[in-house]
Amino acid sequence: MSINEDLVEQAVLAILQELGWRFEDPFEIAPDGPNRQRGAYGEVVLGACWKLLLGG
């Protein structure tokens, strides 16, 4: 079995979900999606999420 980006991503997502994080559909939270969470595709960190995590 070879290791590739998708295999690593799926493993990390599974671990995070087991720890209580939730996965959001990328098309839902895209800048042009119905539940927009970022201003541009280049924004990797979702600002609103960080504010909640940091108590802001």
- The model's pTM: 0.58
Specify the residue for token string 């990390």: 12
For residue 2, the Cα-to-chain-centroid distance in whole angstroms is 25
Q: What is the pLDDT along the chain (56 residues), one digit of tens a residue?
A: 799 999 999 999 999 999 998 888 889 989 999 998 888 888 876 677 777 778 76
For residue 51, the Cα-to-chain-centroid distance in whole angstroms is 15
- The residue length of the chain stands at 56
Contacts of 23-26 with C-beta under 8 Å, sequence gap 24+, read none
Please classify residue 33 by burial: count the beta carbons closer than 10 Å to its beta carbon, then call 0-12 exposed, 13-18 middle and 19+ buried: middle
